[in-house]
Structure 1
Amino acid sequence: MMPEISVIISTYNAEAWLENVLWGYSCQTFKDFEIVIADDGSGPKTKALLDEFVKATSLKITHVWQEDDGFQKSRILNKAIVACKADYIVMSDGDCIPRADFLEVHQNNKEKGYFLSGGYFMLPMDISQKITKNDILLGNCFQLKWLKNNGLKSSFKNNKLTAKGIVSKLLNSLTPTNPSWNGHNASGWKQDIVAINGFDERMQYGGQDRELGERLTNFGIKSKQIRYSAICVHLDHKRGYKTPESIAKNQAIRKHTRDSKIPWTDFGIAKK
């Protein structure tokens, strides 16, 4: 049977964080989904972890892997898009643990002609390292009291974890943040993503997800904000692949996309 949702999770040699993320998906309230791992060249430990989860849980996991060739996230995401069985795709990262209602929120808010823009709740490294499997299954890592007991500082952003119902909808409407395509928490229809040829594979780290959203907008797809409704906590990690050169290159590509209003890239799923 074709699942209702395909979840693409990107990863690269980060088994400890990916394991926590998968435990998050194991206790989703919405059950009709598959997971497609977009693996940008990890070693054998990642595959071994995925094999364990398939045996130990009811998760349906497809492992899409490519040879390590530096940071080629756009390329592996395109391969993962092709592998998705569902008509609707949720994208996130292997360092973002979803709250139990994460996929339910995406499912309830999906709409033809739109993509959904979610956010994340960033955790510092010391708290990220304290989270256990039990904390995920019990939902502790999404509880403000537990996080504060483990060193979280007070901030307006903490409302992401506590806002419910009308309050979360109000904050979604009032936030000054644009409803862009965010690779850690966004969703849309596969036919729309394929129609613009997926991600631009010239782009390394720095805004390739936003550029996809900009081309979806050029294609006529509107966006809806769900950053205070679809909650995931972002585990901290180093970003050695972030370089001034990749940022500048990607900014130039994004400027061309915005200025030219083009929906299609020649450097995506389908190649010339």
Structure 2
Amino acid sequence: MNDYDNITISVIVSVYKDTEALDLILNSLLNQTIDDFEIIISEDCESSEMQTYLKKYKDNKRITHLSQKDDGWKKNIALNKAVRHAKGDYLIFIDGDIIPYRDFVEKHKQNITHSRILCGKRVELGSFFSKLIRKGYLGTYIIEKLYWLFLPFLALDKARHIEEGLKLKKDSSLEKKLNKKRPMIIGCNFSCFKKDLEFINGFDEDYTTPSVGEDIDLTWRFQHFGIDSKSVRYLANTFHLYHPRTWNKQTVDNNNKIMKQKWDNEEFICYNGLIKKQKEKTE
């Protein structure tokens, strides 16, 4: 029996206008193997499309929609707003292009460990399969259940990380062997205690472009305080819908420079996060 069977959970979904993908995500989240969790739609925008789409869920008490002015990439601001709003003691984060397996939330819950972040991965689907799924011609639940049969076709469609769709039994010898290494956070599939995220003051809002700021930056700040990471690869699985990349090498390099400066200054608790803190003056 898991010590955290009665823990309250919030699933935070980061979105930007893509209601077609969100419809697929909510279909999965509302049909999970467990249902005792809230869903927060964290929109980095205030789109009329999203407001219109979410009207059909207006009576669903499990779903909350948060939005903000569309002012460039401000995902970390939206995430911090969602964290403040979350009622759960434990937070699971996915992106608006990530469709979770039907037991995704249950697998995160089963693997909760004191002072540890759970880090998952995703199968990056190719363009053809993503189109089939978006148009409703093929459901991800079918792919999930018959994954071995779909594997060669996913490979032909140039899917990436197709091994991440495989399911393993928790604590089996193979699962233990493959998940032995300390993982890094990937922002599209990870979970942590809300109090641990609050301790490092949440997401750093100094990052204003994708990559690094919503995952790698969290990893080193968590680890400094002994909040380690644990892999849930092959356990808490997800599909990533194909789309052109929203970041490039320059974006990554710029964010790495910001992170390096923060590392050198030992800013393990960020200043521009959940709470706005004044930087201490140095002589």
- What interval of TM-score do these two structures reach, taking the shorter chain for normalisation? 0.7 to 0.9
Task: Name the structure 1 match of 2:3.
Answer: none
Cα distance in 2 between the residues matched to 1:62 and 1:42:
14
Aligned residue for 1:89, secondary structure, equals strand
More displaced 10-residue stretch of structure 1: 16-25 or 251-260 = 251-260
Cα distance in 2 between the residues matched to 1:101 and 1:64:
25
One-letter amino acid of the structure 1 residue matched with residue 128 of structure 2:
D
Which one of the candidate residues 75, 83, 86 is aligned to 1:84?
86
TM-score in terms of structure 1 length? 0.88
Query: 1:134: Cα distance to partner?
Result: 7.6
Cα distance in 2 between the residues matched to 1:250 and 1:110:
30
Aligned residue for 2:179, secondary structure, equals helix
Q: 1:9 to 1:156 in 2, by over 3 A?
A: closer
Query: 1:169: Cα distance to partner?
Result: 3.7
Q: 1:170 to 1:244 in 2, by over 3 A?
A: closer
One-letter amino acid of the structure 1 residue matched with residue 252 of structure 2:
I
Q: How many percent of aligned residue pairs carry the same amino acid?
A: 32
**Contact between 2:67 and 2:78, CA under 8 Å: does it hold in 1?**
yes
**Contact between 2:119 and 2:230, CA under 8 Å: does it hold in 1?**
yes
Task: Name the structure 1 match of 2:255.
Answer: 250
Task: Name the structure 2 match of 1:103.
Answer: 105
One-letter amino acid of the structure 1 residue matched with residue 105 of structure 2:
L
- Bigger share in helix: 1
Q: Does 1:228 align with 2:234?
A: yes
**Contact between 2:123 and 2:159, CA under 8 Å: does it hold in 1?**
no
Query: 1:107: Cα distance to partner?
Result: 0.2
Query: 1:148: Cα distance to partner?
Result: 4.5
Once the two structures are superposed, residues 131-182 of structure 1 have per-residue CA deviations (whole angstroms, 9 ceiling, x without a partner) of: 1558447x11323256347554399943432332124343222xx6x51121
Aligned residue for 1:182, secondary structure, equals coil
User: How many residues of Structure 1 are paired with residues of Structure 2 in the alignment?
Assistant: 264
Cα distance in 1 between the residues matched to 2:243 and 2:168:
29
Mapping of residues 38-77 of structure 1, within 5 Å: 38-55=42-59, 60-77=62-79
Cα distance in 2 between the residues matched to 1:67 and 1:226:
34
Task: Name the structure 2 match of 1:121.
Answer: 123
Cα distance in 2 between the residues matched to 1:38 and 1:80:
6
Task: Extract unaligned runs of 5+ from structure 2.
Answer: 1-5, 278-283
Please identify the structure whose Cα radius of gyration is greater: 2
Q: Does 1:15 align with 2:22?
A: no
Cα distance in 1 between the residues matched to 2:26 and 2:150:
20
Q: 1:124 to 1:225 in 2, by over 3 A?
A: same
Task: Name the structure 2 match of 1:269.
Answer: 274
Task: Name the structure 1 match of 2:32.
Answer: 28
Q: 1:86 to 1:149 in 2, by over 3 A?
A: same
One-letter amino acid of the structure 2 residue matched with residue 212 of structure 1:
L
Task: Name the structure 1 match of 2:185.
Answer: 181
Task: Extract unaligned runs of 5+ from structure 1.
Answer: none
TM-score in terms of structure 2 length? 0.84
More displaced 10-residue stretch of structure 1: 71-80 or 144-153 = 144-153
Across the aligned residues of Structure 1 and Structure 2, the Cα RMSD in angstroms comes to 2.5
Q: Does 1:147 align with 2:150?
A: yes
Task: Name the structure 1 match of 2:168.
Answer: 164
Aligned residue for 1:85, secondary structure, equals coil
Cα distance in 2 between the residues matched to 1:39 and 1:155:
27
One-letter amino acid of the structure 1 residue matched with residue 243 of structure 2:
H
**Contact between 1:39 and 1:76, CA under 8 Å: does it hold in 2?**
yes
